[in-house]
Structure 1
Amino acid sequence: MLINENASQAKIKTSMKKMLRRVKSGDSIYFYYNGHGVPVPSLNNEPFMLASNTEPDFVADESFFALKNIYAQLSASKADKIVAIVDSCFSGVTDGKAVLKGVAATKMVAKSVEFDKNRMVVMSAGKGNQYSNGYDKKAHRLFSFYVMKNIIEGDSDIKTLFKDTKAQTYDTSLEEYGDVRAQEPTIEGNFRLSL
């Protein structure tokens, strides 16, 4: 687990490589990312995770952090089951300001990412150009709050967890922020997996 300034490029990369080296057949991987993401316009809006010490303008210099490469490494592991929960938007905008210099503060749509959809499922905070909203009342991100709440309350399969989380996140986003910042979580891959 890496939090805030400890979630640097070097620490994320090293920790993930060490973890993947230890994975054996029959294991389950739970990958959770809560942070900024950016689409890189020069790479056809390829989505990248933005580590705490990364300058957004240079995010593409480290290909390890391309979301397609993260998912490919997880998919290539020996794990029988991979559950990824990604609380990040890849719209290029945070708090109404562009993350990338020289790009207008309008939401972009990140390129879709392929992965092993038989062994892996990805739950994401919102649709392609939606915000990943905060939830200040609960001191969490909105999507993460409901994912954690529903797991604690007993959701043990992905299908139920997603159904509950999606409805709660969407309804609360409308109540808190209105239509402009509506947030509808998405799911891809094998939603029949259990936690």
Structure 2
Amino acid sequence: MIFAVLSYAPILHAERTQLPDKIQVDQKESVTKVFADADEWLNSGVLLKKGMKYKISASGRWSLGPICGTTGPDGVGNSPVCGGAYVSGSGSLLVGRIGEDGEPFAVGRGVEFTAGEDGALLFKVNGGLKIFCSGHVTVKTIALSPPVEQKVFSGKSDVDEIPIIKTTSNRNAYAIVIGIENYRQKLPKADFAVNDAKLMGEYLSRVMGYPEENIVTLINEHAALGDFVKYFEKWLPNNVEKGGAVFIYYSGHGAPNTKTGDAYLVPYDGDPLFIAETGYSLKRMYDALNKLPAREIIVALDSCFSGAGGRSVIAKGARPLVMNLQSNMALSGNMTVLSASSGEQISSTYDEKGHGLFTYFLLKGIKNEDVVKPDGSIKLDDLFGYLKPQVERIARKQYNNEQTPQLIGSKKSSR
């Protein structure tokens, strides 16, 4: 079903971008022409609504000049010398953005996306020079769904009540905690990822003996690719001493490299279309962790990497992968990885608890009397034995999904 929610009004091709004076509501779709020689961004006359899902399709032929060649809106066949001015790639690529200050994004022959903000939908050819440009493409914009209901958890779940457990602080224990819920590339929201990360940080400091000053928490825009490199490849090696403990927690999107099959964490500025250049691969992370002189390294990933949905994303047009996460790992003997799901599955949220499903039962296990030993220690085998069946049960019961957490590595005590 196509919902009649687009706002449309015509606008001339070479005008400066501006909102139309009159808006006609209840239009099912908008069709506009984008000319290659236009100096300014073309205002399509469509006002996008935050949370609304849209489909854009484009057809036609245009050229940036005899050197560049003639292409369709995907820019395929464009000369490499005619590069893009707004996004990387072909200069003949059709690009769009939301509002005057929006981040440009690739449209090509078509794209589906959820608007991250209200604003006018603008189009332009990706190339910079307009001296010998000719031709145009016809662009159709359709609203696919009503605004997506944002998942907001206003109350507190039982795991939000942090247990009072006496534990000895370990001055040589370091943690990196990452939660990315909103992405710069307007990827689907990773619901509750920030909530997950903040609470995990509190459990680490108040329950598991990690000093607050030894915990780095990276949230949304503070978890860009450069931050991953800085803290995994510089901060940890500069601080972790022989015999220390390291805990890594990640809540957010994962993505597969469809060419190599490698699994990637998606930083705040990551782009599934260019995941090898903008993502942080699990292999790179494990290589960095393997070099540390720590006695124990624990990695907990509330993410998935197949691209099939949930907490995973994939480049448009690519098919989800069945990934063998273990084959992508080269773990040292002191490292253990807890993953929210197997390679072909998705990782779900637990909406009524306000957390990722895996994270909720991970935290619930840390405070469970049957898991915690009298001396306050926790064996990862026991923790995993608790959370795995719980996650599987809720995934089947509430979502009709199979979600099977994985435990890979040395399985030593977590504290």
For residues 116 and 162 of structure 1, do their structure 2 counterparts lie closer, same or farther at Cα, with a shift above 3 Å needed? same
Q: Is the 8 A contact 1:89 1:128 kept in 2?
A: yes
Query: What is the CA–CA distance in structure 2 between the aligned matches of 1:60 and 1:96, rounded to whole Å?
Result: 18
Counting matched residue pairs gives: 190
Partner of 1:103: 318
CA offsets 1:89-120 (integer angstroms, 9 cap, x no match): 0111325996212213x453255223334201
For residues 98 and 148 of structure 1, do their structure 2 counterparts lie closer, same or farther at Cα, with a shift above 3 Å needed? closer
Higher helix share: 1
Structure possessing the higher radius of gyration over alpha carbons: 2
Q: Is the 8 A contact 1:47 1:110 kept in 2?
A: no
> What letter matches 2:355 in structure 1?
H
TM-score (normalised: structure 1): 0.89
For residues 38 and 110 of structure 1, do their structure 2 counterparts lie closer, same or farther at Cα, with a shift above 3 Å needed? farther
TM-score (normalised: structure 2): 0.43
Give RMSD over aligned pairs: 2.0
Query: What is the CA–CA distance in structure 2 between the aligned matches of 1:120 and 1:67, rounded to whole Å?
Result: 13
| TM-aligned CA deviation for residue 184 of structure 1 | 0.6
Partner of 1:177: 399
Query: What is the CA–CA distance in structure 1 between the aligned matches of 2:310 and 2:360, rounded to whole Å?
Result: 19
CA offsets 1:106-149 (integer angstroms, 9 cap, x no match): 45325522333420100100111000111111111100111011
Structure showing greater relative contact order (alpha-carbon pairs closer than 8 Å, 6 or more residues apart): 1
* 1:2 aligned counterpart, secondary structure: strand
| TM-aligned CA deviation for residue 72 of structure 1 | 1.3
CA offsets 1:56-88 (integer angstroms, 9 cap, x no match): 11110157x111110111111010100111111
Where does structure 1 lack aligned partners over 5 or more consecutive residues? Answer: none
Partner of 1:33: 250
1:1-195 correspondence to structure 2 within 5 Å: 1-16=217-232, 17-43=234-260, 45-62=261-278, 65-95=280-310, 99-104=314-319, 106-110=320-324, 112-154=327-369, 155=371, 156-178=378-400, 181-195=401-415
| TM-aligned CA deviation for residue 33 of structure 1 | 0.9
| TM-aligned CA deviation for residue 168 of structure 1 | 0.7
Higher strand share: 2
Percent pairwise identity: 29
Where does structure 2 lack aligned partners over 5 or more consecutive residues? Answer: 1-216, 372-377
| TM-aligned CA deviation for residue 21 of structure 1 | 1.8
Query: What is the CA–CA distance in structure 1 between the aligned matches of 2:379 and 2:311, rounded to whole Å?
Result: 35
Query: What is the CA–CA distance in structure 2 between the aligned matches of 1:118 and 1:11, rounded to whole Å?
Result: 27
* 1:85 aligned counterpart, secondary structure: strand
Query: What is the CA–CA distance in structure 2 between the aligned matches of 1:95 and 1:86, rounded to whole Å?
Result: 13
